[in-house]
A and B are shown apart, each in its own frame.
Chain A
Amino acid sequence: MNAMPRAHELGLIGCHVCGLVCRDTQVPDAACPRCGASLHRRKPDSCARTWALLIAAFILYIPANVLPIMRTVSLGSVDDNTILSGVMELWVKGSPDLAVIVFTASIVVPMMKFLVMGTLLLSVHRGSHWARAQRARLYRLVEFIGYWSMLDVFVVSLLTALVQFGFFSAVEPLPGVVYFGLTVVLTMLASMNFDPRLIWDGKDEDD
């Protein structure tokens, strides 16, 4: 065995909070003797939590896209927009750059998160050894872009606060934006609950 040793092979467990290294006694409900934080080799029920949150996020993503997120009132004409119709309107009305940004933040990023997290979870379940380093990189990417997909929510809340001129022009948030915000929060929670070390569990074939 020329592979690099792992903590559990050495019978060690580290505290996530204060960094204390303890002996891994394999007892359930172990706690750090120094700071009292719970000690675990991997985040407990990581997969189940991630699955649950991811599924919840996906369910809420449907109303987020179907329901209108924003109502624009200009000169008495009321215009309700869903995310996609807003993107299309931006594209048609001559700001394709904005359309691309909104599309990326509101459609591409969440969909990517679902796909990536789903792939990671499935591969972990199967204990796959396939492209571990790339999968780890994917996870870091998802962690990084997580909060950027709140763009739509920010746009709507900003417009609502700024554009309030009564009859002439006004912007109101509609229920869709709440579902969208919940989706983003839940996907962030899901990726937080995922333990990337699970990717590396199982024996190394080669390096």
Chain B
Amino acid sequence: MTDESKTPMSDGLPEPVIRHRRVNASLIWLVPIVAALVGLSLVIHAWMQQGPTIAITFQTAEGLDPGKTVVKYKNVVIGKVSTIRLNSDRRKVVVNVDLDKTAAGIAVADSRFWVVRPRIGLGGVSGIDTLLSGSFIGVDVGNSKQKQTDFAGLETPPSVTHDAEGKSFILHSGDLGSLDIGSPVYFRRLQVGRVASYKLNDDGKGVTLQVFVERPYDKFVTTDSRFWNASGVDVSLGADGLKLNTQSLATVLAGGVAFLDAPGPHPTAEVAPQDAVFTLFDTQAHAMAPPDGEPHYIRMRFDQPLRGLAVDAPVEFLGMNIGSVVSIRMDYDEKTGHFPIYVGAVVYPDRLGRAHQKLMAQARSQGDDDDMSHLIGTLVAHGLRAQAKVGNLLTGQLFISLDFLKNAPKATYDPSVRPLEIPTAPGNFDKLQEQLAEIVDKIRKIPFDSIGNNLNQTLVSLNKTLNQVNNQVLPQFQDTLKGANQTLGTANNAFSPDSPLQQNLGSTLQELQRMARSLRTLTDYLGTHPSSLIRGRSADAPPAADTGSSTTKPQQGSKP
């Protein structure tokens, strides 16, 4: 469509043509609008994602890195550490965490935070993955509805998390033993839970533990369950002998708690409710014993050495263990110049069961007070005495035995003395000597003289018999032995290496060997030429050409 010639101008320049343009130039403004929309969407997105910011206090910021350390719940990243600073008194660090919008519900009052680091404990190794990837903050989401933004971080991971199903129980104990947070709880030697926390009682007279038992094992904790400390190796050397008891090898190292229903039927036992309170006994034996009831302190005066009596030695009443020795003190009696030994013991009359109840009822009906002093008075009048007896002959351990003695010498008993003093009688430890004397007496009565005479006569006749044997029987026996010797010599010759029998045997075997060889050749041949059975043996084939050349070649080469 050039029209250079059609529109000739004065200066001879061509004139432009008209062509309609398609694009409206103002559309270019769409570009910044789109950019602005994208920017806006990013801002909105970020704002929507923005959850609450929480502050967690830790002892140290070890392993934490602002902008990098993440907060994980069930291994899902739900937030990131934004800044770390010291708190106002510079004792702790405050870690600010930006939580995701989706994780906003985590910031509630009873949520707990801790730093997941590699930890090696007796229970095992945890957080090993953080060795390479760096630490992160773990969280246990609470159930509370109350919002909170400031948290005190835990220094160790909680042993029980909120999402764990089960029940926790409170245990009271005299001391912690070797238990720790996370120590296992065993039921029939099966681990069913953990120690969640412990604290010293406010009065300092004991420890309160919280244990957590997982579902479905929590239903085995009943109102009649007994808990005991299964820590370490339970070695007890007492009057009962040596006892060694452990729950598992792990408890030997890390300690643990075990529980079981008390033996016997439990018609009233129910599943224990959440936070039910139990006593944590020292040993399984203590735990399984019937409830002890009120302890009573008694004292006994012994006028004999008590070597082998130790604190914790049992106190038995007619063979029932009703308490233990708590103190052994020496005293000096100015009047007699003796050194009596006062043994203090704690007894639990409730261990006597119905006997105690009946005795108490009887005593009360007679107008006695609650303190069983008159009751004991009655028993003493009937011959109740305390004795130190040998419980274990090997170790010489003593225990205190309260028994009714026949012909007991009259004893003074003052029911008003506190603690109650129970009269004693010399124990069988002393009687041992008497018994020994009796044994010696009996031995003395044995008629050793006549026994010796009889023995002498017997020996004389035995001597005679032996002489006879020597003179008559032995020569004959010698002849027999000689004959036997000759026979053996002949047999020996027959089997000597150069004997004809031996040589014949050798050649026969060689013959047999040859025969076997030719038989093998025959079978080999038949194997390769079965037809020769019918047609007879064919002429030998000439050796193959290639084998011939391969064998000759090296010979040629080696000649020069």
Contacts and interface: CB of A to CB of B under 8 A. Distances in A.
A59 B13 contact: no
A-B pairs with lowest CB-CB distance, top 7? A76-B133, A30-B16, A56-B35, A45-B25, A31-B19, A56-B32, A59-B35
B28 A21 contact: no
B2 A34 contact: yes
Interface of A: 12-13, 20-23, 25, 27, 29-34, 36, 38-39, 44-45, 48-49, 52-53, 55-57, 59-60, 62-63, 67, 75-79, 85, 182, 186
B35 A60 contact: yes
30 contacts: A13-B16, A22-B14, A23-B9, A23-B13, A23-B15, A23-B16, A25-B16, A27-B18, A29-B20, A32-B17, A34-B2, A34-B14, A38-B19, A45-B25, A45-B26, A48-B26, A49-B25, A49-B28, A53-B28, A53-B31, A53-B32, A55-B35, A57-B35, A60-B35, A62-B39, A63-B42, A75-B133, A76-B134, A78-B68, A78-B133
A170 B190 CA distance: 45
B122 interface: no
A60 B40 CA distance: 10
If over half of A's interface residues share one DSSP class (helix, strand or loop), that class is named, otherwise mixed; here it is mixed
B18 to A, nearest CB: 6
B50 to A, nearest CB: 14
Contact of B13 (A12, A29, A30, A62): A12
A73 to B, nearest CB: 9
Nearest to A53: B31
A63 B2 CA distance: 51
B501 interface: no
A52 B28 contact: yes
Given A23-B11, A76-B133, A31 B18 contact: yes
B34 interface: yes
Q: Identify the interface centre among B3, B4, B132: most chain A CB within 10 Å of its CB.
A: B132
Given A49-B28, A55-B35, A29 B134 contact: no
B270 interface: no
A146 B26 CA distance: 25
A25 B15 contact: yes
B329 interface: no
Nearest to A183: B35
A181 to B, nearest CB: 13
Contacts of A25: 15-16
Nearest to A76: B133
A33 B16 contact: yes
A72 B163 CA distance: 34
A44 B25 contact: yes
A48 B133 contact: no
Given A59-B36, A77-B133, A31 B28 contact: no
